[in-house]
Amino acid sequence: MERRALLGLALVATAAASTPARASSGGAAAPSADTYFRLPVITASILRADGRRGVFSVEAGVDVPDAALRTRAQQSAPRLRAAYNIAAQRFANGLRPGAVPNIDQLVAELQTATNATLGRPGARVLLGTVMAL
């Protein structure tokens, strides 16, 4: 295992984790423990630069300030996870081997999947760590 490559991915993941925090400070209310719930890690397979298969993983959660929509989102958690897995695999299929993932594009795709699954906007996807190994 190349530790330098892993360190580079950790730096990318750290930068990706700070992106939602900057976006949320632009006028929207910050998520709280009452409105946020975390989903299991989303994984997809990728093609690495050396031609072997790798893993693309994303830690995600959903912030839903509206109580009725939050109840619907929590009940729809399996559907959300399935939609996120499909979106992550499509995103991973579009990655060139060795390329850095475009986190803004990933967030847009996951947000679209969230709105489609819940039937209306109002829930916000928040990303934690994004890694491509």
Domain regions of the chain by residue span: 3-25+35-132
Q: Give the C-alpha separation, 34 to 31, whole Å.
A: 8
Beta bridge partners of 108: none
Q: Tokens in use for 65? A: 């300030």
Residue 28: band (very low, low, confident or very high) from pLDDT cuts 50, 70, 90? low
Residue 20, pLDDT above cutoff 70 = no
Q: Beta 36-38 vs 124-132: how paired, if at all?
A: unpaired
Predicted TM-score of the model (pTM): 0.73
Residue 109, pLDDT above cutoff 70 = yes
Residue 6, pLDDT above cutoff 50 = no
Q: What is the share, in percent, of the chain residues with pLDDT greater than 70?
A: 77
What is the CATH code of the structural domain delimited by 3-25+35-132?
3.30.479
Q: Give the C-alpha separation, 118 to 111, whole Å.
A: 11
Beta bridge partners of 44: 56
What digits encode the pLDDT tens for the residues 39-88? 999 999 998 888 889 999 999 999 999 999 999 999 999 999 999 999 99
